[in-house]
Structure 1
Amino acid sequence: MLPKILHNMEVQVQRSTIISDGGPNAPAVPATEVPLTVFDRFASNIHIAVLFAFASPTPANDALVDGLRNTFKHFPTLTARLGYSLTHRRPCILMGGGGGGGAQVVEATVSSELSDHLPLKPSPELQRLHPNPGAGAQLFQVQFNRFMCGGLIIGFSVHHRVADGHSMGAFFTAWAKAVRGAPIDRLPVYDQSWLKPRRPPRCEFQHWGQDFIPTTPHHNVLTKNVDPSKITNILLKYPSDYLKKLKAKVDNKFTTFETLSAHLWRKITIARRLQDYEHTTVRVPVNGRARLKPLVSDDFFGNLVVNAYPKGNVKVLIDGGLVKAASIIHEAIAEIDKGYFQSFIDFGELHGEEELVPAYDVDGNLLSPTLEMDSWVRFRFHEMDLGGGGELRSFLPTWVPFEGLMMFLPGLGEEGGVDVFVTLLQDHAELLRQISHSLD
């Protein structure tokens, strides 16, 4: 295979294999259909790719692959495949039966030192460090990139319809334990007994048009696209000391996420040069595990997320200051309570046999004046410990050719805090860099 060049490092693919939970000699089992829930169908129909960089020493590839096989035994949906159930008349996960399942594992070498490329910074070339999601049908794909020093960058790509970020954080933590030979003490929960519509089902909230897009011929969808080369990704670092100052400006009345989100919502609105009369919206994913009653197990594996939609007039947002922006976000998130989740479940019962197209899938690649803010701080990604003494040195999403996303990541350095991955048009990103840490 031809080498792939990335910032003066040569990435040479050595081997690509498909593995399953039971190994090559596992007996075949009949296919089982697991219908996608309304929450699964609300998730983006794409792979989400992330990169983990570990300093030397790290376990051998064989140990990493054996750990995957042992972990997949408890997370079987990750080695399944997407299909359509004629019985239930809706998309489903097909487990067993052969025909495109398993996980893709790519092993590669890099002819440079890992330290030459740390900390990882957003770059289109980062896509070379994980498998191309469009190249195979596997829902779970991983690439092990070995450096001359023994360092390792692991590139994961996982389909969002199978699991949300909370679930994948649990998987990565479990896999790291399996690699170390430690027991997986928190097993995933697949029970969906909480997914009960009311009788009769009813929707108190407007999910058509906001969460899902009607596919009727008379419904026009405004899709905005721009040349991907005009979009850039940047990483902004907010140390713990800075966050304390920022929260002091709102008298510590709001969470760190609400405060930093409000700060960046205002700064990005300025950087985008939006007009005073315009309106801007933020999509904020909200985890339902702790909001449904009775509570859903924190170990539930799958998707259980809906969006809050804070909205604001540009002039009000800027003139009202940080407190106003934070209060808008706080109030919108608070409205996503058990009643909202129950309405969402009932919507799935009423419209489950219809084509459900989430708003994500018709956005185009230009969200402005909308933003999406995803917090990965509590997903336990930063807790991965593969053993051998090599520490996690960097964690980053891969390059995203899509404008309007923000991902909050745990700061790994001594300063702690939060790193924020932002995707914007290049000229807007340059202005954001200049004003991103101003406390005004």
Structure 2
Amino acid sequence: MKIEKQSSRLVTPSYETKPLTPSTCTTITLSPFDRAAGSDHVPIIFAYKAPTPPNSAIDHGLRLVLSDYRVWAGRLIEDKRAVVLNDKGVRFVEATASCTLDEVPCCLGASQATRGLLHYPVPIHDRAMLEPRDLLSIEFDHLGNEYMEKRLVREFSWEGIVNRLRMQKFHSSPHFLAKLKARPSVRCPSGGGYSTYESVVSHVWQKVTRARGASVGEEEISQVGISVNLRTRLVPPIPREYFGNMVLWAFPRTTVHELLSQSLDRVAELVHAAIAQVNNRYARSFADFDSLVEREGRWGELVPTGEMESEVFCPNLEASSWLWLPFDEMDFGSGGPDVFMPSFIPYDGDVVTASQMKGKGGIDVFVCLFEAIMAVFQDIWHAIDEITRVGSLSAVGSPSLIK
């Protein structure tokens, strides 16, 4: 598939529907959760069947939305601790691809504005949603979870890694998900069962570790970094319209031996307990930790674990849930997308889950692994047996390859 770029330009906010044009000197300090999230770019692909609106309509809709989401069009200051709302703009690229939509492997407000609907949800930009307490109380080990000391960061060479990585989509039908969820939930200590996401992450964690085989030692510690949305976990909860990061991570950990010798319900119990710990109490402890580091002037000594130098997570994984994001509502006037997926994310052990488009049920699991490991994982992905033999069951459906 050949892609040719036709044009590239910066699109700036338009205030034609606003009573006043705001200052371009305003600075917004990033919240502790913004800074801990690290700085990374995750491309997302939406594909639509004709007829679609002209690019000029999308350009205009984006300009209107940027007047409310000015952070997108702003710029980070040098130490990346604040954003200047200078309306410098976002990059808008027009390109053509030498393929049909069927040949392609497999920001809500912008789509509404493109369709002329100007009553899209207005964002809340108040970064002081969770202030540190007057008497700081740091109850958890945030140095090692959200941050680590720079002196412990190892040098890493990216050369030669990306060409050996593959990203594939594995579809999980509602029937498969019901079986996967039922297996561990019958032994859930709380009696309420495990969520679909907890069951999927537990399953993938076991299968990827098994597929990695001799490349990981039995006594090595393996962990999954799971992003946890704090909006509904805080007391009081954070409004859905809040435009800013409100995510921390859960880190279920165990030895490779224990991970592979335990039944799925035991692994799900580890995952569930780790996620449950990332609650209001944990978030407030983190806000206090951030305030303490600020007072002591130690930011130069620390780096967010979200900006770790390695693109190889082995023996670990990182998992993100996009299940609650309304990607199927990205309608520019001709209906929702026919194809949605993250682009190639070059991190060994990266896992993203998303709902299937068009309300078909089930979820899609995108996994990035080294090519040889991916071949083994593909063979054992749909085996829910408590002890899985490589190749014992064939995958249901054919996974798509993204390179």
TM-score by length of 2: 0.86
Q: Kindly state the Cα deviation for residue 423 of structure 1 after the two structures are TM-superposed.
A: 1.0
CA apart distance, 1:84: 3.9
Residue of structure 2 in register with 1:75 after alignment: 69
Q: Residues of 1 paired with 2:268 and 2:175: CA distance?
A: 19
Superimposed CA distance per residue, residues 182-212 of structure 1 (whole angstroms, 9 cap, x where no aligned partner):
2334211112343211112231111112211
Residue in structure 2 matching 1:379, options 303, 325, 338? 325
How far did 1:23 drift?
Answer: 7.1
Summarize deviations over 1:15-50 as a string: whole Å, max 9, x none: 2111111279x9783412211111111113122211
Return 253-262 or 344-353, whichever deviates more. 344-353
Q: Alignment partner of 2:318: what SS?
A: strand
> 2:11 aligned with 1:19, yes or no?
yes
1:399 corresponds, among 335, 344, 367, to 344
2:354 to 403, 409, 414: 409
Partner of 1:221: 153
Contact 2:177 2:362 (C-alpha < 8 Å) held by counterparts: yes
SS in 2 for 1:250: helix
Looking at structure 2, the residues matched to 31 and 246 of structure 1 have their Cα atoms a distance apart, in angstroms, of 53
Taking only aligned residues, the RMSD between alpha carbons, in angstroms, comes to: 2.1
Q: Give 1:205's aligned residue.
A: 140
Distance in 2 between residues matched to 1:220 and 1:438, nearest whole Å: 39
- Alignment partner, residue 94 of structure 1: 84
Alpha-carbon contact 1:225-1:366 (below 8 Å) kept: no
**C-alpha contact (below 8 Å) 1:382/1:412 kept by paired residues:** yes
Q: Is the 8 A contact 1:202 1:346 kept in 2?
A: yes
Retained in 1: the 8 A contact 2:167–2:344?
Answer: yes
Q: SS where residue 21 of structure 1 aligns? A: coil
Give the letter aligned to residue 14 of structure 1.
Q
Q: What residue in structure 1 maps to residue 400 of structure 2?
A: none
Letter of the structure 2 residue corresponding to residue 220 of structure 1: L
Deviations 1:389-416 (A, max 9, x none): x441111111122211000011226752
2:222 is aligned with 1:271: no
Distance 2:99 2:166 in 1: 26
Greater strand proportion: 1
Q: CA–CA distance in 1 between the matches of 2:55 and 2:65?
A: 15
Match of residue 326 from structure 1: 268
Residue 148 of structure 1 corresponds to: none
Kept after mapping to 1: 8 A contact 2:3/2:98 = yes
Report runs of 4+ in structure 1 exceeding 4 Å deviation.
Answer: 223-226
In structure 2, give the amino acid aligned to 1:417: G
Structure 1 counterpart of 2:90, one-letter code = A
Corresponding position of 1:295: 237
In the alignment, the residues of structure 2 paired with residue 42 and residue 367 of structure 1 have an alpha-carbon distance, to the nearest angstrom, of: 19
Work out whether 1:364 is the aligned partner of 2:358: no
Secondary structure class of the residue paired with 1:176 = helix
In 2, the alpha carbon distance for the partners of 1:238 and 1:413 equals 15
2:63 maps to amino acid: R
Distance 2:272 2:344 in 1: 30
1:305 pairs, out of 247, 260, 266, with: 247
Q: Is the 8 A contact 1:176 1:385 kept in 2?
A: yes
Residues 304 and 394 of structure 1: CA distance in aligned 2, closer, same or farther (over 3 Å):
same
Corresponding position of 2:399: none
User: Of 67, 92, 95, which aligns to 1:105?
Assistant: 92
2:130 equivalent to 1:195: yes
Match of 1:66 among 60, 68, 85: 60
| Structure 1 letter corresponding to 2:288 | D
Q: Find the counterpart in structure 1 of residue 165 from structure 2.
A: 231
Q: CA deviation at 1:173?
A: 1.5
Q: Which one of the candidate residues 250, 265, 274 is aligned to 2:184?
A: 250
2:357 is paired with a residue whose SS is coil
5+ residue gaps in structure 2? 187-192, 386-403
- Compared with structure 1, are the counterparts of its residues 27 and 380 closer, same or farther at alpha carbon in structure 2 (3 Å cutoff)? closer
How far apart, CA to CA, are the structure 2 residues paired with 1:277 and 1:284? Answer: 22
SS in 1 for 2:6: strand
1:241 aligned onto 2:175: yes
Q: How does 1:121-200 map to 2 (within 5 A)?
A: 121=106, 172-200=107-135
The answer as to whether partners of 1:224 and 1:367 remain within 8 angstroms in 2 is: no
